[in-house]
Chains A and B, each alone.
Chain A
Amino acid sequence: MEKKDKNIGIELITRHLSGESNAAEEKELQHWLAADPDHITLLDQYSSLWEKLGRVQSVAGIDLDAEWHILESRMAEGEKMITLQPGRKRRASFYTGRIAVAAMLAVILTFSGIYLASRFGYRTLATTAQPEELVLPDGSTVTLNHFSSLKYPRRFAGEIRNIELDGEGFFEVESDPDHPFVIKTRDVDIKVLGTSFNVNAYRENAAVEVIVKTGEVAVTRHGDIPKTIILKPGNKGVYKKNNETLKITREIDRNYLAWKTRNFVFEDQTLFDVSQQLNKVYQAEIIIASDSLKEARITTTFNDQSLDAILNVLSATLDLDVRKSNGQIILSETN
């Protein structure tokens, strides 16, 4: 009986503290408090707890996975932090200071939107050697290629479905015209309403490439003079980092999705080209022993096969010797 009474009290206290109780419940709470001095102690404790929790409010949403990911990559880069140096000369100090602040801001921004986003409960998926598939809170699906990362909210709030990509991903976005889906990358933003497309935005690449499979996609270049292009199915948008140009082309590598599907179509391609594509998709290191062999031409298709199966086909077709050593795969002509 007593325990049940206490539980009722805790329910009343909970409603009271969380701002859910109506006038009748507030009255009920007062009656309950008046019944036993211990009840008052209990309310004191809960109120104190409620208030003290406020102290950690600003850090409660920190995404430790994301933060660790940032630190880990900085550890790997062995990157030196930028320290704020005040100007030596009095006169110059104002400007030096401003520059230092700008540099600090740049560093903060470089270490990505996680900083701002994590407050609102962001998660990060970071892949290593294997691509991974992910369903976002709105039902959209993303396949993330190797060594890529995607930051996305625990739930989409507000008008725009914002996510951030570093690396390569194939997106199938749930249609929702009222809530545009925006993928932010370092150099360009990609805005869509509901469609499927591939984004290749590895930081180290010289260009960002967006290839549209279905629907329409808008790609916007960052910078002082933003520029937007609209891509339709079969279009590829290319942003070149060196001259900051953003252009549409129709030259699409037919195997652009092979990293996801492992389906390849090769038509009269050199063995060297084939090996390059296989290396990228399978994270392999195929080496062709002779220059003449690099120029050997091949026409074939592969559908989601293992690298070994593919090597068997190549070896049978071109009469090759396949040798594995120290993680490398060496292709040579049979003697």
Chain B
Amino acid sequence: MAAGERNIGIKLDKRAFEELFRSFFPSLVLFAQKYVPDQDTAKEIVHNVFLNLWEKRQQLDTSSPLKSYLFTSVHNRCLNYIRDQKKFDRDETLFQKLDSTAFIDGVDRLEEQELEQRIYDALQSLPEKCREIFMMNRFEGLKYAGIAEKLGISVKTVETQMSKALKILREKLIDYLGMVILFILTHLN
């Protein structure tokens, strides 16, 4: 059983807790980032939720799965953060954040989160070298030649690893790739 499906009532030892942390930290940070202005704040909020869970692990007594406990806690803390900011912060962007995000139905957010978790996990499942190369291109915008130079490998290897990464990711995420993106075709023709 995956860590997140465990119920809180089940004994949460340190090992299980670490497993839980490692499986959910990135997607919880991603989730929190939709509410708070920067990643540092998001991370701090998620850390606090885990710390709180750890400190209260003996007293927790509910039948809800840990996963929804975590997302609900992060959600609530983000809203508290925004509320507290709003009282003194004149920054317009925070008001906008509050208006646009605070009242959205949590269910949509959880479905979205599910997808993001899958994407993140798929990315993590790539062989290390393959992932490193892929991330340098996709996320850092480096050209093949630049990657090859940085890693001391050939451009051909970069190319092979890029195709390999995409093939693996496609297989893992095929269920989520059904949508036809028309503008690509328009662009090509």
Contacts and interface: CB of A to CB of B under 8 A. Distances in A.
A147 interface: no
Contacts of A86: 83-84, 87-88
Contacts of B87: 86-87, 93, 97
A71 B119 CA distance: 24
Given A61-B139, A68-B22, A48 B181 contact: yes
Contact of A74 (B18, B47, B116, B139): B47
Interface string B158-189: 01001100110110011011111100110011
Contact of B170 (A30, A46, A111, A116): A46
B169 A53 contact: yes
Contact of A56 (B30, B44, B177): B30
Interface in B1-38: 18, 21-22, 25-27, 29-30, 33
Interface in A85-105: 85-87, 93-94, 96-98, 100, 104
Contacts of B177: 44-45, 48-49, 52
B39 interface: yes
A11 B55 CA distance: 51
B189 A30 contact: yes
Nearest to A77: B51
Interface residues of A, number: 65
Contacts of A98: 88
A123 B51 CA distance: 22
Given A11-B159, A62-B26, A71-B51, A40 B166 contact: no
Given A61-B135, A67-B43, A85 B84 contact: yes
B71 interface: no
Given A14-B162, A14-B163, A107-B44, A97 B50 contact: no
Contacts of B138: 18, 50, 53-54, 57
A94 B85 CA distance: 10
Contacts of B189: 30
A164 to B, nearest CB: 16
Contact of B21 (A10, A45, A51, A71): A71
B39 to A, nearest CB: 6
B51 A75 contact: yes
Interface in B121-171: 123, 132, 135, 137-139, 141, 143-144, 150, 159, 162-163, 166-167, 169-170
B61 interface: no
A309 interface: no
Given A18-B162, A71-B47, A64 B26 contact: yes
Which of A33, A45, A70, A87 gathers most chain B CB within 10 Å?
A45
A46 B166 contact: yes
Contact of A155 (B18, B150, B163): B150
A13 interface: yes
Contact of A60 (B48, B120, B180, B181): B120
B100 interface: no
A252 to B, nearest CB: 40
Contact of A116 (B27, B40, B123): B40
Interface string A149-172: 000001100000000000000000
A53 to B, nearest CB: 6
Contact of A108 (B44, B137, B141): B44
Contacts of B180: 44
Contacts of A107: 44
Contacts of B26: 56, 59-60, 62, 64
A250 interface: no
A59 B33 CA distance: 10
B107 to A, nearest CB: 18
Given A19-B143, A44-B184, A56-B119, A84 B55 contact: no
30 contacts: A11-B159, A17-B166, A18-B137, A18-B138, A30-B188, A44-B179, A45-B170, A46-B166, A47-B184, A48-B179, A50-B138, A52-B115, A52-B176, A53-B119, A57-B139, A58-B39, A59-B27, A62-B29, A64-B22, A68-B21, A71-B51, A78-B55, A84-B85, A87-B88, A94-B88, A97-B88, A98-B88, A100-B84, A108-B40, A155-B150
Given A30-B189, A57-B138, A79-B51, 4 more contacts: A20-B143, A48-B178, A55-B115, A72-B18
